[in-house]
A = this chain, B = another copy of it.
């Protein structure tokens, strides 16, 4: 975030007044051919406009029209491991960033890198995501919206996040488990199926399907571009002035 120093505003004001007054003097001279009166009119104009501009600004301070509060949202992507949540959330982030609103991208992997030693049991997951909810809430207090992608397999946890944050928008990224396995380059599904990874969502842990998601993306049928379009349109319609 950048701010303008007082010196910059002052210099900019002076440079504009110089241009504006010179223009008036030239126009008046062009019409009437009297340079002395043109200059006098220019000076009178300068004085008058500095005062008038001040009162114009003060009057607009009192007018509420067209002042809109940005309502920070929490765009939450849920779905099986490798369903395509992160890729889609990244694409949506890139698009929404163009709108020039304060925005933070929060991904499960990044958070687990920063805060390690969190397990995958029901309680661990729930508490971990409650912390993420608190992070998002704090960002929202400061007008920042979030784009979050987490497996978040339990209805209870998603409900808790929805309650903690403002304008919770649930995006369910749907994918067959076969599709997810087919995308699995690192072999984590195989490891889970062999019992080497415990509490693995979709294999050894439940994924409770979202009951009333705001948006459903079928990652077997919809391309990233199509899905991005749907989500960005939804956000623009509901949360942009």
The residues of A with any CB-CB pair to B shorter than 8 Å are 1-5, 7-9, 11-12, 15-16, 19-20, 23-24, 27-28, 30-32, 34, 37, 40-41, 44-45, 48-49, 52-53, 56, 60, 65-70, 102, 104, 106, 111, 114-115, 117, 127, 130-131, 134-135, 138-139, 141-144, 241
**B-chain residues with CB within 8 Å of residue A142 when the two chains form the complex:** 102, 104, 139, 142, 144
* Contact between B65 and A1, CB atoms less than 8 A apart: no
Partner of A104, one of B127, B130, B138: B138
Query: How many protomers of this protein does the assembly include?
Result: 2
Distance in Å from the Cβ of A85 to the closest Cβ of chain B?
Answer: 19
* Contact between A4 and B66, CB atoms less than 8 A apart: yes
Partner of A127, one of B68, B117, B144: B117
User: Residue of B at shortest CB range from A102?
Assistant: B142
Whether A66 contacts B7 in the complex (CB less than 8 A), given A15-B56, A23-B49, A135-B135, comes out as yes
